[in-house]
Amino acid sequence: MKNKLLFYITSLMLMVFNLSLAQLTIKGTVSDDEGIPLPGATVVVQNTSNGVSTDFDGLYTITANTGDVLVFSFVGYTDQTVTVGSSDQIDIVLTSAGALEEVIVTSFGTSTKESFTGSADVVTAEDLELRIATSPIAALEGSTSGVQFLAATGQPGASPSIVIRGVGTLNGSNTPLYVLDGVQFEGDLASLNQDDIESLTVLKDAASTALYGARAANGVVMITTKQGAKNTPMRVNFSVQSGISNDALGQYSAANPQQYYEIMWEAYKNTLSGTPAENAAEASSSIFNRLGYNPFNVPNDQIVDTNGNINPNAQVIYEGLDWFDALQRTGIRNNYNLNVSTGSDKSQIFFSASYLDETGYTIETDFERITTRLNTTLTPKSWLTLGANVSLTLAESAGAQSGGTSSIVNPFAFAKNIGSIYPVTLVDDTGSQILDAAGNVIYDDGEGNSAFGIQARPYSLGRNAVAEAYYNNLINRNNNIGARFFGEFTVIPGLKVKLTYGQDIQDSISNRYENAEIGDGAPTARFRETRFRRVVENFSQVINYKKSLSDVHNFNLTLGHESFDRNFSNMSGFKNTQTATGIYEFDNFSVISSLSGYSSDKRTEGFFGRLNYDFNEKYFISASARRDGSSVFNKDVRWGNFYSVGASWLIHKEGFMDSVSFVDNLKLRASYGEVGNDSLGNFYISQPLYALYSNAGAPALYWDKLGNNALTWETIESFDLALEFTLLNRFLDGSLEYYKKTSSDLLYNLPIAPSNGLKQKPDNVGTLFNSGLELELTGHLFDSQDFSWDLSLQASTFKNEITELPTPFTSGSKRWDVGRSVFDYYIYDWAGVDPANGNSLYYMYEDNADGDQRIPVLAADGSHQTTNDYQEAGRAYTGDSSIPDFIGSIQNSLRYKNLSLNVLITFSQGGKILDGGYSAMMHPGTYGRSIHTDALNSWKQPGDITSIPRLESGNPNQSVGSSTRFLTDASFVSLRNLNLSYDLTDVIGKQLAIDNLRLFVSGENLFINSAREGLNPQYNLGGTPAGNNYNPARTISAGLNLTF
CB of 286 to other proteins, least distance (A): 7
Cα dihedral 516/521/524/529 (nearest 10): -110
CB of 268 to other proteins, least distance (A): 8
Residues ≥6 apart with Cβ < 8 Å to 401: 155, 365, 407, 409, 410, 411, 412, 1029, 1030
CB of 695 to other proteins, least distance (A): 4
Which lies closer to other proteins via its Cβ, residue 50 or residue 760? 760
CB of 604 to other proteins, least distance (A): 8
3-state SS string for 162-222: EEECCCCCCCCCCCCEEEECCEECCCCHHHCCHHHEEEEEEECCHHHHHHHHHHCCCCEEE
CB of 469 to other proteins, least distance (A): 18
β-strand 589-615 against 553-578: which pairing, if any? antiparallel
β-strand 886-896 against 899-909: which pairing, if any? antiparallel
What is the rounded CA–CA span in Å between residue 699 and residue 267?
A: 52
CB of 836 to other proteins, least distance (A): 22
Which lies closer to other proteins via its Cβ, residue 169 or residue 270? 270
- Quick one: DSSP state of residue 915? -
Which lies closer to other proteins via its Cβ, residue 246 or residue 464? 464
Which lies closer to other proteins via its Cβ, residue 383 or residue 702? 702
What is the rounded CA–CA span in Å between residue 665 and residue 11?
A: 32
Which lies closer to other proteins via its Cβ, residue 272 or residue 973? 272
Residues ≥6 apart with Cβ < 8 Å to 305: 284, 311
CB of 1005 to other proteins, least distance (A): 34
CB of 523 to other proteins, least distance (A): 5
- Quick one: DSSP state of residue 255? -
Tell me the β-bridge partners of 431: none
β-strand 809-811 against 912-914: which pairing, if any? unpaired
Which lies closer to other proteins via its Cβ, residue 694 or residue 941? 694
Which lies closer to other proteins via its Cβ, residue 313 or residue 450? 450
Which lies closer to other proteins via its Cβ, residue 593 or residue 803? 593
CB of 926 to other proteins, least distance (A): 10
* Contact present, 416 and 1028 (Cβ < 8 Å): yes
Q: Residues 684, 689, 690, CA angle at the centre, nearest 5°?
A: 140
Which lies closer to other proteins via its Cβ, residue 96 or residue 594? 594
* Contact present, 413 and 1028 (Cβ < 8 Å): yes
CB of 260 to other proteins, least distance (A): 17
Go through the chain and tell me how many residues it has: 1044
- For 58, 125, 174, 807, 996, the CA distances from 986, given in Å and listed in that order, are 19, 22, 47, 69, 8
Which lies closer to other proteins via its Cβ, residue 511 or residue 576? 576
Which lies closer to other proteins via its Cβ, residue 376 or residue 687? 687
Q: Positive or negative CA dihedral for 48, 49, 52, 53?
A: positive
CB of 696 to other proteins, least distance (A): 5
Q: Positive or negative CA dihedral for 399, 404, 410, 412?
A: positive
Which lies closer to other proteins via its Cβ, residue 703 or residue 896? 703
* Contact present, 625 and 642 (Cβ < 8 Å): yes
Inter-helix orientation angle 257-269/276-291, to 10°: 130
Which lies closer to other proteins via its Cβ, residue 728 or residue 758? 758
CB of 290 to other proteins, least distance (A): 7
CB of 443 to other proteins, least distance (A): 14
What is the rounded CA–CA span in Å between residue 613 and residue 646?
A: 10
Among the listed residues 322, 261, 254, 255, the one whose alpha carbon sits nearest the alpha carbon of residue 290: 261
CB of 502 to other proteins, least distance (A): 17
Which lies closer to other proteins via its Cβ, residue 58 or residue 606? 606
State which H helix or E strand residue 1009 sits in.
strand 996-1010
Among the listed residues 770, 749, 610, 606, the one whose alpha carbon sits nearest the alpha carbon of residue 676: 606
- For 168, 207, 715, 719, 734, the CA distances from 671, given in Å and listed in that order, are 18, 6, 16, 6, 19
* Contact present, 218 and 677 (Cβ < 8 Å): yes
